[in-house]
Structure 1
Amino acid sequence: MDKKIIYSMGIRQLELFLRIYETQSISEAAVICNLTQSAVTKSLRKLEELLGLTLFYRHTRDVSATEAAHILYPYALNIFTESLSFEEKSIQLRDGAEGSVRVGFGPLVSYLFSSRLARVISSQNPNVDVNFLSGHFEELKSKLFNHELDFFICDSRSINHIPDPERFVTNKVATFPLISVTSPDAPFLTAGVDLLSCPWALPKIGYQYMNYIPERVFMMLKQIGKIRYGIDDLNTCIELAKSGQALTITTRFMVKDEIDNGELIEFSLPLEQFREHSLSIYSLRSRTLSHTGKEMQAFLKSCISSWFCDLESQLSTTC
């Protein structure tokens, strides 16, 4: 390739290419990059002209990647992440920030342990500046690629449903069963009722989970309006179940008291693929964690694993 083409390509153009590829949408890429759609479209057109390639097929509401885009994506991602590594290391050397760690938590870890972890880290690692960020897998993955996080802890199965799993190093933290619950007074609980026909209050279902739901079941739930999307607060889902408005999915140790006092009753999940949940630590294979980051990763894994064991043992489950 002519070096003049390389010199004409900017990191910003690579970032826009990555975001369009990942979202399959120019409008979503524009939102992520805080640009207008016209600016993103113009940048993409310029990049395609520089390369002499068509990277995306344009449709009415979205775009789809060409074979050239599929081939170029991992190379662009590597260049972009390494450029961020260069910038980050320069800032660390300038500001002496080697003692800082940025950690992302998925919804469950954040709900159960974020406050407790903050207290423990503050008392046992007072010289380490730790910043926590909560989000869903896609949000955390994006921030990891953008070097806004050093690593994150989230659903283990998500690694199986992304286009570039080889870019990650994963380390399993804990596995635990899931149950469905609702109020014993819920009006939809009639004799012989099919739970899949009942209303459900669920956190936003990530695209990776769709592969675990039989298409017939998912389409049926969607058509009759039984899935309540957008309720990302686990506590809100549990409160809706306690009020008898819906079923929800949770862990037994999160609702032990409510089950014991009769506020909630427990059911086996109707979809076998959802009957357990596991958490893993995600970091980038191409990025070496600082000594402080490695120590914090090991510390968090030890704490969370131990606390899950304690919670399960309280329910007379051997850990």
Structure 2
Amino acid sequence: MDERQLKYFLVTSEMGSVTSAADKLDIAQPSLSQMLLRLEEELGTKLFMRTSRGVVMTETGQVFREHALKILSDMRRVRDEIRLEDTFERCEVTVGLPSSLATLIGSRLVSEFQRVAPGAKLTLVEAMSGHIREWLTRGELDVGALYSAQDCCHLSLQQIAVEELFLVGESGAFGDVDDDGLAIDSIDILELNRFPLILPTAHHGLRRLVDQKIKRLEGKINVRFEIDSLTLIKSLVRDGHGYSMLAHAAISEELKRGQMSAARIVKPIFRRGVFVARNPLQVVTRASVKMAEAITNVSWKLIQEGEWLATRVKPPASEPFIQEIEPARL
């Protein structure tokens, strides 16, 4: 199967007649008929029903038409990407960031992307991780950052960090704190049922991770409110309506200002992975590659500077696409 066959198939489906399609394509009608027959043999199915008035697509032919249109569109995009050489003027990328990560790296990420892909159009969407996973699956995002790899086997994932989850409460909720604003005393994971929690619904990765971990340990949690808004969860915690389980990325500014407090969860420590994700069915563009690099590099820089309490994860040597950031530009 090649590009020419796909084009010939699409013209035939549009014209509804092999003869008319052959005239439009300026080829002999028998040659077009043979090409269509070979295509059907290769696919092992009938694409057209022959009638006295011409041809009509079968149900499988209609399905194949949608795939053919996408394949040809992707091939055009690939050619356009290659022909652009070093300019990003006509490039665009849509990226999704979880709310906690957007709060931490959003501004630096935009600056870094402008540096490495000058002129490219950027659309940045902030949402909870579950929504980003769905949008990646539907092909509505070029790149996304996700927490944990649950239910993501259909996506291309590259882990960039591991971060710890903390029990979060109002200011002073856990007593004395260390230099990072974290409570001196930690909380045993099986003691979490003592704290009324404010968590996202089971639709989101954080909640599923919490539920699965607690279930494996045969523990219990006390969920007072289910809220799919990071901003509202943090507001309710600050006002003393309950506790939550959040990563340092989500609360770093509040800890600095003394507006919230956090305690480590231990026995075991509660951790999750941070991933850059793509849909393998989407065309990889130069702008999307630069965005993936920028997310990784900005994240690593913040970890190195101590602004994000996480551990960076380097890719295998076979994937050396990460570049160093110029600190002066951050």
| RMSD (Å), alpha carbons | 4.2
1:136 corresponds to: 128
Tell me if structure 2 keeps the 8 A contact 1:81–1:145.
no
Q: For residue 40 of structure 1, what is the aligned residue in structure 2? A: none
Asked if structure 1 preserves the Cα contact closer than 8 Å seen for 2:48 and 2:61, the reply is no
Q: Residue 101 of structure 1: SS of its match in structure 2?
A: strand
Partner residue of 2:98 out of 103, 106, 114: 106
User: Which of 157, 161, 164 is the equivalent residue of 1:177?
Assistant: 164
Offset of residue 247 of structure 1 = 0.7
Aligned match of 1:276 in 257, 268, 271?
Answer: 271
CA contact (8 A) 1:312 1:318 kept: no
- Tell me how far 1:306 sits from its aligned partner: 1.3
In the alignment, what sits opposite 2:215? Answer: 214
Amino acid at match of 2:105: F
Aligned to 2:113: 121
1:291 is aligned to 2:281:
no
What is the deviation of 1:289?
0.9
Give CA-to-partner distance per residue, 1:21-79, whole Å, 9 cap, x none.
Answer: xxxxxxxxxxxxxxxxxxxxxxxxxxxxxxxxxxxxxxxxxxxxxxxxxxxxxxx9xx9
1:32-43 equivalences in 2 (<5 Å): none
- Larger relative helix fraction: 1
Maintained 8 Å contact 1:253/1:311: no
Q: Secondary structure at the match of 2:229?
A: coil
Highest CA radius of gyration, 1 or 2? 2
Q: Distance in 2 between matches of 1:3 and 1:85?
A: 17
The equivalent residue for 2:244 is 248
CA gap 1:7/1:115 in 2 versus in 1, 3 angstroms: farther
SS in 2 for 1:285: coil
- Pick 1 or 2: higher relative contact order, CA cutoff 8 A, min separation 6: 2
Letter in 2 for 1:183: E
Q: Distance in 2 between matches of 1:100 and 1:178?
A: 34
Residue 127 of structure 1: how far off its partner (Å): 1.5
CA contact (8 A) 1:102 1:149 kept: yes
- Alpha-carbon distance between aligned partners in 1 of 2:237 and 2:130, rounded to the nearest angstrom: 27
Counterpart AA for 1:126: P
- Output one character per residue of 1:134-172: Cα deviation in whole Å (capped at 9) or x when no partner: 2334432333233322121111332xx35xx1x322111
1:309 equivalent among 283, 299, 304: 304
User: Structure 1 residues 290, 229: CA separation in 2 closer, same or farther (over 3 Å shift)?
Assistant: same
User: Aligned-pair distance for 1:215?
Assistant: 7.6
TM-score relative to the length of structure 2 = 0.56
Runs of 5+ unmatched residues, structure 2:
1-44, 50-56, 174-187, 313-330
Determine whether 1:150 maps to 2:139: no
Q: Which residue, out of 263, 271, 278, partners 1:267?
A: 263
The aligned counterpart of 2:58 is 7
- Equivalent position of 2:195 in the other structure: 198
Q: In 2, distance between residues paired with 1:8 and 1:129?
A: 39
Q: Decide whether aligned partners of structure 1 residues 262 and 107 sit closer, same or farther in structure 2, where only a CA change above 3 A counts.
A: closer
How much does 1:103 deviate? 1.4
Structure 1 pair 256–299 and aligned structure 2 pair: CA distance change class (3 A): closer
Aligned to 2:58, the other structure's residue is in SS state: helix
Task: Note closer, same or farther for the CA distance 1:292–1:7 as it changes in structure 2 (3 Å cut).
Answer: same
**1:202–1:232 Cα contact (<8 Å) kept:** no
Residues 103/237 of structure 1: CA separation in 2 closer, same or farther (3 Å cut): same
Residue 255 of structure 1: CA displacement? 4.0
Deviates more, 1:242-251 or 1:252-261: 252-261
Matched residue SS, 2:232: helix
**Corresponding position of 1:33:** none
Return the offset for 1:299: 2.5
Kindly indicate whether the alpha-carbon contact (under 8 Å) linking 2:133 and 2:146 is maintained by their aligned counterparts in 1. no
Alpha-carbon distance between aligned partners in 2 of 1:135 and 1:10, rounded to the nearest angstrom: 38
Amino acid at match of 1:281: V
